[in-house]
Amino acid sequence: MNLKWRIAIILGLVAASVWALFPRTVVERVKRNGEFVYDTVRRVPLKRGLDLQGGMYLALDVDESKGAVPDKSKAIDNALKVVRNRIDEFGVSEPVVQKAGNDRIIVELPGIDDPRRAQDVVQKSAFLEMQITDKTQALEKSLPRLDAVLKDTKVAAATPSPTAAKDTSSAGLQSLFSADTAKKADSTKKDSTAASGTVGGPGAFSKLVQQGQMPGEYYVAQTDVGLVTQYLSMPQVMAVLPPGKVIRWRSDTTTMGNRVYRAFYVLDAKPIITGEYLTDAKPNTSPTEGNIVEFTMNNEGARRFRAETGRHIKDFMAIVLDQRVMGQPPVIQSAIGAHGQITMGGKDLQAAQDLALVLRAGSLPVPLKVADVRQIGASLGQDSIHKGITAGIIAVALVVLIMLGYYRFSGALAVAALGLYILYTLAVLAGFSAVLTLPGLAGFVLSIGIAVDANVLIFERIREELAHGKTVRTAIDEGFRHAMSAIVDSNVSTALTAAVLYQYGSGPVRGFAVTLLAGIAASMVTAIFVVRTFYMIWLNRSRDAQTSLSI
Amino acid sequence: MLRILHDTNYDFIRWWKVMAGITIAFILLGLGSLAIKAPNYSIEFTGGTLMELEFAKPPDVAQVRSTLDQAGIRGAEIQQFGTNTEFTVRVQNAAAVASQSKGAENIAVTIENVLKKKFGDGAVTVKRTEAVSARVGDEFKRGAIIAILLSFLITLVYLSIRFEWRFAAAAVIATSHDVFTTIAFLKLMHLEISLTVVAGLLTVLGYSLNDTIIIFDRVRENLRKGRKESLYETLNRSINETLPRSVLTHVTTFASTLALLLFAGEVIRPFAWVMAFGIVTGTFSSIYVAAPVLLWIERKWPRKTGARQASSTATPTSRTQRSPATATR
């Protein structure tokens, strides 16, 4: 190839690389939620992975702990839309929301500073139901049977050995309080012994429960909530609970005197309306009720709501979000139309904002659980970049010293090629908008040492040819020619390994494979093409080039 | 001209029995140690929770531990990570992982809450959290194993095409040797097996393979020259001829690895250790595993007296095969 063409190609590649890496303000058309929006950013177009810029990675699976989900793939598709809506509203720059495999959603949120909140927004089911509290005293009627069932089962379990029974029952109870075992060790012991004395006795259930002011409302001392929850989940107990009713705990606690209580409500199982008709929700602060979320329903929802509430005048309506009753159920004074509100029960305005957001974006069709979460603070990411760059500079310095010391003039050519190698590799990463991760950065630093291998192979070959008494020009030609097969074979086999790594690696490791691949490509170009061209320039210019080569 | 190990004529392969003894002893030591105690898998493979915490002032580790114990988080491993205000908390036991199947993050949330309660809101910062459920851990494990096996297979095929099956088999056996020595090294160094370390392992495999290929390339070339010498001599000659290259490349690669080891921070350090060891084992296996194995294969399935199926098909192609560079001229 003509020397001028070679130089032109190298300069062209340099220009393209500089252009690819130049910081720019880009107006990007990004597809979000099915529609295109414009976005402007100014940056060096090298994408940093979450581990370098800080942020959060979430992998969400379908939660089947409360019942199997028949068509998971479809459920995930629907959930994906909802999650995407919510993330878009949440306001994260360049979020990633995608389906992975058949039954997983991947969410990447770069640069967020409150991971817990973001996760709540993603994960909250946001299933809203309005249910009328029971006014038939169904629970009272069931109480004798409930107590009887508990008495039977507990006694049956306790009979084999009285001492052992006491032990197991107190152990079981302690596990209920495990969340604050240590702090309340004394009180737990007291409670458990007291409870173990009465477990299986008369009124096992009814003595834990007090009737509230409105129909269907019951209070349980906060310390007994765990026990009652356990009772309510026992199959024998569920069998004797009033049919057509459901029991829902309230989201907040109530303090009466100096004791803390949590209420539960017996509700008509069939909701009068659900959140599917909701068109809008916004947070607000009411002077009497604190923070609230006001919602609006569409025409059909409003019509139904009006009809249903009209039928239930003077009844109490519980607003149930994800199976928790939000605030004190209000009495229905007159038929309600399109508007309603949810009281937040003393939670802050941000909680109201987030609730409004998830209500607007719609409820999740299936519950999701977190399968994998990685959260990296922004400062840690910054720190990693600094360390990576330091290591990179030191690696370059060491390699440059070794090459110059050992190969002198030829080493200098290799060093110049190494500079181009770094430029080209970064440009390839930018050009393919590959994501640079911490392992990727490490791989890049490592590749600086490995990149000169091709040069070393060629130089050693040239030395051999010179030793055989060939002229400088021939030795260079032969050196490149003979080293070629080794360079190609070794690089291709490394590239194949990197490709496998890319295919089977996840996130950060994938970033590593990408840098490795970009590095291999760039090192072959620089070692074979660029250094060869340097030699050609030198052979053309230097008078003594034909007789001696500093290598 | 500065030269090292130029025009040497060491009889490397003569020592193969000694070297085999050393490397087998090393591998057995590692595997024996594995049999006694399982390796440390990172939470990516086992499932679990890892948190990197920064305290405003150096905390009392015993106090951190007792706070976690009281919160019902037992068996947490608390380690200093860098400076004396930075710590990692790792919860990896079976009970904890089982509770994470409900939601991987719950233990991390508890840890953050109880520590902030104990030490004050501003006194503890969570710098990094990783929480992995057992299911995801199994997927990662499967992925890692597939990746290693697949890279072997692909290498075998590629080298069979470019060289011939004997070279390919010898190279893959040498590379498998590196997997074992590296695992032994990881175990003996008490390094944790994480995704990054697996990536390091695959890099080592690539690097070692690279080194073997350089020598085999020379063997291929020397065989073509048709000297009157045994394969034993050809192998020795090829190793000697490529020695300056090997030394120099290992030195520059080691320079990069050293920079990573010393300056790139705690997260990358295990990777750098694997790479540092990989340079040693890769070099070793190219000379003392690949070459003797190739000799052994040649004895078992000789190429000259081409009676066997493999050699009868492979020999003619390998004779006529030329490197692409030669072909272009």
Ordered by where they begin, the domains of chain A are 3-21+377-546 (1.20.1640.10), 55-123+364-376 (3.30.70.3400), 125-361 (3.30.1360.200)
Does B99 score more than 80 pLDDT?
no
* Residue percentage of chain A with pLDDT more than 70: 87
Contact B134, A375 (CB under 8 A): no
Query: Which of A485, A515, A550 is most worth mutating to test chain B (most B CB atoms within 10 A of its CB)?
Result: A485
Q: Which residue of B has its CA nearest to A393?
A: B259
pLDDT at B17: 92
**Residue A199: CB partners within 8 Å, gap ≥ 6?**
A154, A158, A169
C-alpha–C-alpha distance, residues A444 and A7, integer Å: 26
Contact A465, A541 (CB under 8 A): no
Does B313 score more than 70 pLDDT?
no
pLDDT at B155: 85
Q: How many other CB atoms are found less than 10 A from the CB of residue B290? A: 30
**Partners of A292 in the β-ladder:** A284, A343
Q: For A69, phi and psi rounded to 5 degrees?
A: -110, 120
The DSSP annotation for A429-481 comes to HHHTTPEE-HHHHHHHHHHHHHHHHHHHHHHHHHHHHHHTT--HHHHHHHHHH
pLDDT at A243: 86
A186-229 confidence digits (pLDDT tens) = 443 334 333 333 344 567 788 888 888 888 899 998 888 888 88
Partners of B128 on chain A (C-beta within 8 Å) are 374-377, 380
Nearest CB to A500 within list B102, B150, B244:
B150
Query: Which of A373, A376, A421 is most worth mutating to test chain B (most B CB atoms within 10 A of its CB)?
Result: A373
DSSP A97: E
Q: Which residue of B has its CA nearest to A60?
A: B103
pLDDT at B206: 87
pLDDT at A44: 76
Domain layout of chain B by residue ranges = 12-39+137-324, 48-132
Does B318 score more than 60 pLDDT?
no
B235 in helix, strand or coil?
helix
Give A12's pLDDT tier (boundaries 50, 70, 90).
very high
Q: Are the beta carbons of B260 and A442 separated by less than 8 Å?
A: yes
From first CA to last CA, the distance across chain B in angstroms is 30
Element (H, E) at A254: strand A245-256
C-alpha–C-alpha distance, residues A364 and A361, integer Å: 9
Between positions 71 and 110 of B, the ones with CB within 8 A of A are 71-72, 101-105, 108-109
For residue A325 the two structure tokens come to 């009753």
Amino acid at A282: K
Q: Residues for chain A: how many in total?
A: 551
Between positions 463 and 522 of A, the ones with CB within 8 A of B are 463-464, 467, 481-482, 484-486, 488-494, 496-498, 500-501, 503-506, 508-509, 512-513, 516
Compute the average pLDDT of residues B248-269.
93
Nearest CB to B143 within list A65, A504, A551:
A504
- CA-nearest of B298, B282, B281, B320 to B169 is B298
Q: Does domain B48-132 have CATH number 3.30.70.260?
A: yes
Q: Which residue of A has its CA nearest to B132?
A: A372
Amino acid at A343: T
Q: Bigger pLDDT: A542 or A503? A: A503
Interface confidence, given as ipTM, is 0.85
Query: Which of A50, A370, A415, A524 is most worth mutating to test chain B (most B CB atoms within 10 A of its CB)?
Result: A370
Q: Are the beta carbons of B103 and A179 separated by less than 8 Å?
A: no
Shortest Cα distance from A164 to chain B (angstroms)? 25
Compute the average pLDDT of residues A328-332.
84
Of the listed ranges A294-303, A349-358, B128-137, the least confidently predicted one is A349-358
Nearest CB to A485 within list B104, B262, B324:
B324
A129-178 confidence digits (pLDDT tens) = 889 998 888 888 888 888 888 876 654 443 333 333 333 333 333 333 33
Q: Is A8 exposed, middle or buried (0-12, 13-18, 19+ CB in 10 A)?
A: exposed
DSSP B213: H
B189-223 confidence digits (pLDDT tens) = 999 898 889 889 988 988 899 899 999 999 999 99
Long-range contacts of B19-22 (CB under 8 A, 24+ apart): B19/B284, B19/B288, B20/B288, B20/B292
- CA-nearest of B62, B36, B16, B68 to B174 is B16
B34 close contact with A: CB closer than 8 A: no
> How many pairs of residues across A and B have Cβ atoms under 8 Å apart?
256
A234-263 confidence digits (pLDDT tens) = 888 888 888 889 999 998 888 888 888 999
pLDDT at A529: 93
- CA-nearest of B259, B228, B246 to B291 is B246
pLDDT at A41: 64
Max mean pLDDT range (A64-73, A92-101, A498-507, B45-54): B45-54
B329 close contact with A: CB closer than 8 A: yes
Query: Going by DSSP bridges, is the β-strand pair A324-325/A245-256 parallel, antiparallel, or unpaired?
Result: parallel
A260-298 confidence digits (pLDDT tens) = 899 999 999 899 888 888 888 888 888 887 888 888 988
Contact B146, B158 (CB under 8 A): no
Compute the average pLDDT of residues A355-375.
85
pLDDT at A175: 34
* Residue percentage of chain A with pLDDT more than 90: 25
Nearest CB to B72 within list A179, A449, A484:
A179
C-alpha–C-alpha distance, residues B161 and B57, integer Å: 61
C-alpha–C-alpha distance, residues B54 and B66, integer Å: 18
B114-125 confidence digits (pLDDT tens) = 998 888 888 898
Compute the average pLDDT of residues A31-41.
55
Q: How many other CB atoms are found less than 10 A from the CB of residue A191? A: 19
Give A364's pLDDT tier (boundaries 50, 70, 90).
confident
Query: Which of A372, A375, A468 is most worth mutating to test chain B (most B CB atoms within 10 A of its CB)?
Result: A372
B136 close contact with A: CB closer than 8 A: yes
Between positions 192 and 231 of B, the ones with CB within 8 A of A are 195-196, 198-199, 202-203, 205-207, 209-210, 213-214, 217-218, 221
CATH among 1.20.1640.10, 3.80.30.20, 3.40.50.2300, 1.10.3720.10 for B12-39+137-324 = 1.20.1640.10
C-alpha–C-alpha distance, residues A203 and A215, integer Å: 21
C-alpha–C-alpha distance, residues A327 and A402, integer Å: 73
B143 close contact with A: CB closer than 8 A: yes
C-alpha–C-alpha distance, residues B144 and A506, integer Å: 10
C-alpha dihedral sign at B77, B82, B87, B90: negative
C-alpha–C-alpha distance, residues A368 and A358, integer Å: 14
- CA-nearest of B236, B191, B196 to B218 is B236
